[in-house]
């Protein structure tokens, strides 16, 4: 298994004192944290698109990525080789999962039939490699945004044929995901939105998107796919406004179209910040609705206002993410999926290892910190105490829905005014959080 990265060994845990950049300092897969091993908690996943097919171009310049195994063609044979490369990489890294779009793994053909056949030809290799290595598919998805046919959207296109094409593409991608034992299937509405309202019937587009997903749910049942369906919120890029703009908007959409029982959310850090939220906010919203499924782990750059999809290295951020995940009881089918890419200047194959090792270590530290915070219990206690005035008879009755305005007036009138407010203690809590970092 050393055909494509001959100089890189299997990445081992070297411990915090290791000076070897190709070792984990914190991610120790079999180490138990609380009730599970790190490997079970974190369920790391490598994405095909950024790691194996992204040429590292930007709007100002061509791709820089050095990928010696790639013959530069769009052939199925090249895609099959790339699949072997991907598995050698993931195996050496020791990540248990991967994720892909149909068009990352196999080239689009001259027509849909040829595209289906290309996908089957590469999926055969993916299956072989999954069996050889034990690496599993976290989720599959269909790319409904790169091809020019999707310029006006896919499920929200004003062109009915495009809607039909997208449906056929998703149908096939679901079949392949199912066949590969995928634990989930993701819908990211890459161009499901608008560039201008002057040409857009928003209500009609949303109804179409609702129908599209209802048909996906029907097809899931029909083929017996047991994996989780995810919606991935993102407010903009490539369009100016995307309908799945944030967790709250997605939940509202899912409820409106009776889809909530069938979907969970796949939250991405950089999308949260593009929406003007912290990742922690998005996680709280999803957890509150019992709808947090998986996360696309990355980070943006505060000085660059777009989706830079960088590898997460900020321990404060990963600790917050892991607090949310532990709070909800951990992943079921989801995982920490590195939807992240190396910088254009980091163009050598070994940079792919450095990037993932750093992300995995940052999350391992986040896990340990979050676990320690929960063990200690001071945050939970503070929050419980902050709401303790609700624990009286009338407060309980209001929460249960058994009280009226008149009851509240009768309660407060004799008091004359509300009881004094306690301090929010934000700074004290921020200091406490830092004690764990
Ligand atoms: C793009 C999205 C995309 C989804 C999968 O911004 O993050 O990569 O995760 O289609
Ligand atoms: Ni993503
Ligand atoms: Ni993204």
pLDDT for the residue numbered 99: 99
Determine the structural domain holding residue 406 and report its residue range.
Answer: 380-436
8 Å CB contact between 369 and 432: no
Q: Where in the sequence numbering do the catalytic residues fall?
A: 101, 104
Say whether both 392 and 366 belong to one domain: no
- Same domain flag for 384 and 408: yes
Residues 388, 316 share a domain? no
In this structure, the answer to whether residues 386 and 354 fall within a common structural domain is no
Alpha helices in 159-226 (DSSP H): 160-179, 202-223
Per-residue pLDDT of 215-255, as tens digits, reads 999 999 999 999 999 999 999 999 999 999 999 999 999 99
Using only the alpha carbons of the chain, give its radius of gyration. 24
Q: How far, in Å, from the CA of 106 to the mean position of ligand 1?
A: 17
Which has the minimum average pLDDT: 19-28, 47-56, 296-305, 364-373? 296-305
pLDDT > 60? residue 104: yes
CB atoms within 10 A of CB 24: 23
Among 105, 188, 279, name the best residue to mutate to test ligand 1's pocket (greatest count of ligand atoms within 8 A of Cβ).
188
Ligand 1: residues with CB < 6 A are 101, 141, 186, 188, 232, 234, 268, 296, 307, 339
Distance separating the N- and C-terminal Cα atoms of the chain: 38
Which protein residue's CA is at the shortest distance from atom 10 of ligand 1? 188
* Domain identity same for 174 and 153: yes
Residues 18 and 62 in one domain: yes
Angle, nearest 10°, between helix axes 426-436 and 349-376?
A: 120
Nearest protein Cα to ligand 1, atom 7: 339
Distance from the alpha carbon of residue 271 to the mean position of ligand 1, in angstroms: 9
Q: Are residues 327 and 189 part of one domain?
A: yes
- At 161, give phi and psi (nearest 5°): -60, -35
- The pLDDT score that the predictor gives to residue 305 is 84
Q: Is residue 3 part of a domain?
A: no
Q: Tell me how far apart the alpha carbons of residues 112 and 259 are, in angstroms, rounded to a whole number.
A: 28
Instruction: Identify whether 6 is part of a domain.
Output: no
Contact 309, 339 (CB under 8 A): yes
Domain boundary among 342, 358, 376: 376
- Closest Cα to atom 2 of ligand 1: 188
Which among 339, 359, 376 is the end of a domain? 376
Does one domain contain both 63 and 136?
yes
Within 8 A by CB and 6+ apart from 5, the residues are: 88, 89, 92, 349, 350, 353
Output the residue whose Cα is nearest ligand 1's atom 5. 188
Q: Is residue 281 domain-shared with residue 384, that is, in the same domain?
A: no
What average pLDDT score do residues 262-280 get?
Answer: 98
Ligand 1 atom with minimal separation from the 234 CA: 6
Average pLDDT, stretch 339-343?
Answer: 98
Q: Which two tokens stand for residue 363?
A: 């999350």
In a domain? residue 419: yes
Which atom, in ligand 1's list, is nearest to the CA of 266? 9
Is residue 61 a part of any domain in this protein?
yes
pLDDT in tens, 188-200: 999 999 999 999 9
Q: Are residues 264 and 398 in the same domain?
A: no
What is the DSSP secondary-structure string of 102-122?
Answer: HHHHS---SSHHHHHHHHHHH
Q: What is the pLDDT of residues 396-433, one digit of tens each?
A: 999 999 999 999 999 999 999 999 999 999 999 999 99
Q: How far apart are CA 82 and CA 124, in angstroms?
A: 13
Classify each residue of 231-245 as buried b or exposed e, where b means 16 or more C-beta atoms within 10 Å of its C-beta: bbbbbeeebeebbbb
Is 281 contained in some domain?
yes
How many angstroms is it from 78 CA to the middle of ligand 2?
25
Residue 5 lies in a domain: no
Does any domain span residue 165?
Answer: yes
Whether residue 127 contacts residue 180, with contact meaning beta carbons closer than 8 Å, is answered with yes
Preceding omega of 238 cis (within 30 degrees of 0): yes
Same domain, 333 and 416: no
Length of the chain: 437
Tens digit of pLDDT for each residue in 140-174? 999 999 999 999 999 999 999 999 999 999 999 99
Residue 406 lies in a domain: yes
Q: Are residues 360 and 274 part of one domain? A: yes
| pLDDT at 2 > cutoff 70 | no
CATH of the domain at 73: 3.20.20.150
Q: pLDDT tens digits, residue range 62-101?
A: 999 999 999 999 999 999 999 999 999 999 999 999 999 9
Q: Select from 190, 265, 309 the residue to mutate for testing ligand 1; criterion: most ligand atoms less than 8 Å from CB.
A: 190
Per the structure, how many domains does the chain have? 2
Higher pLDDT: 88 or 1? It is 88
Of the pLDDT bands very low, low, confident and very high (cuts 50, 70, 90), residue 359 is very high
What's the mean pLDDT in 178-193?
98
**pTM of the complete model:** 0.97
- Residue range 257-270: average pLDDT? 98
**Domain end residue (candidates: 376, 406, 424):** 376
> In terms of C-beta density within 10 A (0-12 exposed, 13-18 middle, 19 or more buried), how is residue 343 classed?
middle
Task: Give the H/E segment covering residue 407.
Answer: helix 405-412
> By C-alpha distance, which of 221, 238, 233, 245 is closest to 306?
238
Query: What's the token pair of residue 265?
Result: 């959310």
């Amino acid at each position: 298994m050393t055909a494509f990265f001959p100089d890189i060994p299997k990445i081992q845990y070297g411990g915090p004192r290791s000076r070897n950049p190709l070792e984990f300092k914190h991610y120790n897969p079999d180490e138990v944290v609380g009730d599970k091993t790190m490997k079970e908690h974190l369920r790391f996943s490598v994405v095909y698109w950024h790691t194996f097919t992204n040429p590292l171009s930007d709007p100002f310049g061509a791709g820089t990525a050095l990928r010696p195994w790639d013959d530069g063609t769009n052939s199925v044979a090249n895609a099959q080789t790339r699949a072997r490369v991907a598995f050698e990489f993931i195996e050496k890294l020791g990540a248990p999962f991967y994720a892909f779009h149909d068009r990352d793994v196999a080239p689009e053909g001259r027509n849909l039939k040829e595209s289906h056949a290309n996908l089957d030809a590469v999926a055969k290799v993916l299956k072989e490699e999954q069996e050889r290595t034990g690496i599993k598919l976290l989720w599959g998805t269909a790319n409904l945004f790169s091809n020019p046919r999707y310029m006006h959207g896919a499920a929200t296109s004003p062109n009915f044929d495009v809607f039909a094409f997208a449906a056929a593409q998703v149908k096939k991608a679901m079949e392949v995901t199912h066949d590969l034992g995928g634990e989930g299937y993701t819908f990211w509405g890459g161009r499901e939105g608008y560039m201008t309202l002057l040409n857009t019937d928003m209500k009609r587009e949303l109804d179409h998107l609702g129908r599209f997903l209802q048909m996906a749910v029907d097809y899931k049942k029909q083929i017996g796919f047991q994996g989780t369906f995810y919606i991935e919120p993102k407010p903009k890029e490539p369009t100016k406004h995307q309908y799945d703009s944030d967790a709250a908007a997605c939940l509202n959409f899912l409820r409106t179209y009776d889809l909530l029982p069938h979907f969970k959310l796949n939250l991405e850090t950089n999308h949260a910040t593009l929406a003007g939220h912290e990742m922690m906010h998005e996680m709280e919203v999803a957890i509150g609705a019992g709808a947090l499924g998986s996360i696309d782990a990355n980070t943006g750059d505060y000085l660059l206002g777009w989706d830079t999809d960088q590898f997460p290295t900020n321990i404060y951020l990963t600790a917050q993410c892991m607090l949310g995940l532990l709070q909800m009881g951990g992943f079921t089918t989801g995982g920490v999926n590195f939807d992240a890419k190396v910088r254009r200047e980091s163009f050598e194959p070994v940079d792919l290892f450095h990037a993932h090792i750093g992300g995995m270590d940052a999350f391992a530290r986040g896990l340990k910190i979050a676990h320690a915070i929960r063990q200690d219990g001071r945050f939970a206690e503070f929050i419980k105490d902050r709401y303790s005035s609700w624990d009286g008879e009338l407060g309980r009755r209001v929460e249960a829905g058994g009280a009226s305005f008149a009851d509240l007036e009768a309660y407060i009138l004799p008091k004359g005014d509300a009881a004094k407010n306690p301090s929010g203690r934000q700074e004290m809590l921020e200091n406490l959080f830092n004690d764990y970092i």
